[in-house]
Chains A and B, each alone.
Chain A
Amino acid sequence: MDDATNAPRAEVEHLYAEYDHLAPPIGQDGTPYPYFEHLRDAALMAEQPIGWSEKHGGFWVVTSYAECQSIIANPIDFSSAGVIFPKYAVTEPLMLAEQDEPEHMRGRRLVNLSFMPKNVANYAGAIKTAVHQLIDGFIEDGHADVGKIIAEPIPAIVTALLMGLPAEDGPLFDAWTTACTHEFLADPVAAAPKIAEMYTYFEENIARRKQEPGDDVLSQVINAKIDGDSLTHKELLGFSTVLLIGGIENSAKLIGTALWRLAWDIELRRRLVAHPQWISAAIDEFLRYYSPGTVGRIVTNDITIAGKTMRRGQQVILALPIANRDPREFPHPDCFMIDRQNNRHLALGTGLHSCLGGHLIRMEARVVLTEFLSRIGSFRLDTCLPTNWIRGQVTGMSRIPIVFDPGERVSSERGAGVDAWLRHASRI
């Protein structure tokens, strides 16, 4: 090959070598997408969908849709034990997420029906009430950080309901989740006591649920039998943490990023205000366009894909935010299209490990956006204050300062969960 042909390959190999899924450069738009688009385009030009990163001890990076999909759909050669990399600071393995077959499906069947559409629909009314009560807390002010006061509280309130935990503990859940998934890397000393506190909390709740079972998901798991055996205490702790982290991380980032986009994309916001029936399709496009999660796998058998030989034991990272912008799968991938047909994005996985909470997150985001836009149909980013894109294995916009014309409260009532969050956000 001559130098002209080698040049794109050398550039993309350099980009892959520097790729760090936990710390992508943030562009002028406040997101890592300019960088993701650059890496994608370089990979396309060099026809190198897979490369080797030197970060975190070295790992494979997959940026194309087809290869990401085939690896996720291949549990024989790729283990989910590497779904989180580097591993979160949890002492018990994450049930379901880090499990392979047949253990994964045995655990999944225990809780699967609880996350089906008819069951998650039972929470829609409570979410709607919580959104309106949260909005009542700031609508008279004409300004708010809707990352802090909508996107973070709602998933914690829903997770508390689902798991049968006190709604007022929501701010704690958020702090623990952040400690396990982000803070442990930046400040492990500060994160450690929060993680210990989380396990103590779950120890107590598991003991309480054994005595007084409810109709919540945690009680179902505690009292379930798999092949005649109950789950061990360690497995119950692993289930508790995965339900907590899984319930909060993706939803908060999806809702936050959507509200941020709607704060400046006036055309999109007007369309959704005028046609709320399009919000469901818009949510799948948000999931594709700003995919919150990046997932990993560990190679279990030597395998060659797209000319790269992956060795047993090596870590693979599937760069879903990049793969979901692959032009070979998604025409005009960098256009946000709410009427996109066959939007088969990988944001919530595919195959056996497709997201347990896939129906829940869609319903949650739909109710939040529908109710929010019904109350505050016009708002814009407060450009005097900074936004903040949270980086990590699950990413999205977390600080979203907006301004709008003040409105009136519709109610003075506050549920315990909402009250805790409004206090937490120093609104009282």
Chain B
Amino acid sequence: MGQSVMRAAVAAQVPGIEALCGGNCVCATCHAYIEAPWYQSFEAPDETEKAMIDYTSEPRDNSRLTCQLQVSSAHEGLVIRLPASQH
């Protein structure tokens, strides 16, 4: 709770979330697809994140950079899926 999805994933050694820039929304290597209904439960992405998502290798409608997603009690049971590659 109170941390980003990226931080939680890295702490849990989840493979596939690289997060090279450490949560600064610079590298787009923490890209993930957020399953319904949780996608709508996060604040909408800002312009910087939206632009970066567009230039990931496989953007989809439910793409997010997980360093920008703050976890709260509303996200109990959150399911995310990872792209084949972050590069």
How far does the alpha carbon of A73 sit from the alpha carbon of B21 in the complex, in Å? 9
12 other A-B residue contacts (CB within 8 Å) besides A117-B85, A118-B56: A105-B26, A113-B51, A113-B52, A116-B52, A116-B55, A117-B56, A117-B86, A350-B22, A351-B22, A352-B24, A358-B29, A358-B87
How far does the alpha carbon of A355 sit from the alpha carbon of B21 in the complex, in Å? 9
| Residues in A lying within 8 Å of B, measured CB to CB | 73, 105, 108-109, 112-113, 116-119, 121, 280, 341-342, 344, 348-352, 354-355, 358-359, 362-363
B87 touches A352 (CB 8 A): no
- Which residues does chain A contribute within 8 Å of B52, judged by CB atoms? 112-113, 116
Q: Secondary structure of the A side of the interface?
A: helix
A113 touches B55 (CB 8 A): yes
Check A354/B21 contact, CB under 8 A, given A108-B26, A113-B51, A362-B87: yes
Partner of A351, one of B21, B59, B87: B21
| Residues in B lying within 8 Å of A, measured CB to CB | 13, 15, 18, 20-22, 24, 26-29, 48, 51-52, 54-57, 59, 85-87
How far does the alpha carbon of A233 sit from the alpha carbon of B86 in the complex, in Å? 35
A119 touches B55 (CB 8 A): yes
- Measured CB to CB, the closest approach of chain B to A340, in angstroms, equals 10
- Which residues does chain A contribute within 8 Å of B54, judged by CB atoms? 118
Q: Secondary structure of the B side of the interface?
A: loop
The 5 A-B pairs with the shortest beta carbon distances in the complex, nearest first, are: A116-B55, A117-B57, A118-B55, A354-B21, A354-B20
A342 touches B15 (CB 8 A): yes
- Measured CB to CB, the closest approach of chain B to A270, in angstroms, equals 24
A351 touches B24 (CB 8 A): yes
Check A112/B26 contact, CB under 8 A, given A358-B20, A362-B87: yes
What's the A-B contact tally at a CB cutoff of 8 Å?
Answer: 59
A121 touches B57 (CB 8 A): yes
How far does the alpha carbon of A355 sit from the alpha carbon of B28 in the complex, in Å? 12
- Which residues does chain B contribute within 8 Å of A116, judged by CB atoms? 28, 52, 55-56
A selection of 13 A-B contacts at a CB cut-off of 8 Å is A117-B56, A117-B87, A118-B54, A118-B59, A280-B87, A342-B15, A352-B21, A352-B24, A354-B21, A354-B27, A355-B20, A358-B87, A359-B87
A117 touches B28 (CB 8 A): yes
How far does the alpha carbon of A348 sit from the alpha carbon of B29 in the complex, in Å? 13
- Measured CB to CB, the closest approach of chain A to B57, in angstroms, equals 4
- Which residues does chain A contribute within 8 Å of B56, judged by CB atoms? 116-118
Check A354/B55 contact, CB under 8 A, given A117-B87, A341-B15, A363-B87: no
How far does the alpha carbon of A313 sit from the alpha carbon of B66 in the complex, in Å? 36
Check A117/B55 contact, CB under 8 A, given A342-B13, A359-B87: yes
A358 touches B27 (CB 8 A): yes
Can you name the residue of chain B whose Cβ is closest to the Cβ of A366? B87
- Which residues does chain B contribute within 8 Å of A280, judged by CB atoms? 85, 87
How far does the alpha carbon of A117 sit from the alpha carbon of B63 in the complex, in Å? 15
- Which residues does chain B contribute within 8 Å of A363, judged by CB atoms? 87
How far does the alpha carbon of A116 sit from the alpha carbon of B51 in the complex, in Å? 10
Can you name the residue of chain B whose Cβ is closest to the Cβ of A345? B20
Most buried by B among A109, A117, A119, A349: A117
- Which residues does chain B contribute within 8 Å of A108, judged by CB atoms? 26
How far does the alpha carbon of A113 sit from the alpha carbon of B52 in the complex, in Å? 7
How far does the alpha carbon of A342 sit from the alpha carbon of B20 in the complex, in Å? 12
- Which residues does chain A contribute within 8 Å of B85, judged by CB atoms? 117, 280
How far does the alpha carbon of A358 sit from the alpha carbon of B86 in the complex, in Å? 11
- Measured CB to CB, the closest approach of chain A to B59, in angstroms, equals 8
- Measured CB to CB, the closest approach of chain A to B45, in angstroms, equals 15
Can you name the residue of chain B whose Cβ is closest to the Cβ of A117? B57
- Which residues does chain B contribute within 8 Å of A348, judged by CB atoms? 20
Can you name the residue of chain B whose Cβ is closest to the Cβ of A121? B57
- Measured CB to CB, the closest approach of chain B to A69, in angstroms, equals 9
- Which residues does chain A contribute within 8 Å of B48, judged by CB atoms? 109
How far does the alpha carbon of A118 sit from the alpha carbon of B87 in the complex, in Å? 9
- Which residues does chain B contribute within 8 Å of A112, judged by CB atoms? 26, 52
How far does the alpha carbon of A352 sit from the alpha carbon of B67 in the complex, in Å? 13
- Which residues does chain A contribute within 8 Å of B26, judged by CB atoms? 105, 108, 112, 352, 354
How far does the alpha carbon of A381 sit from the alpha carbon of B18 in the complex, in Å? 35
Can you name the residue of chain B whose Cβ is closest to the Cβ of A362? B87
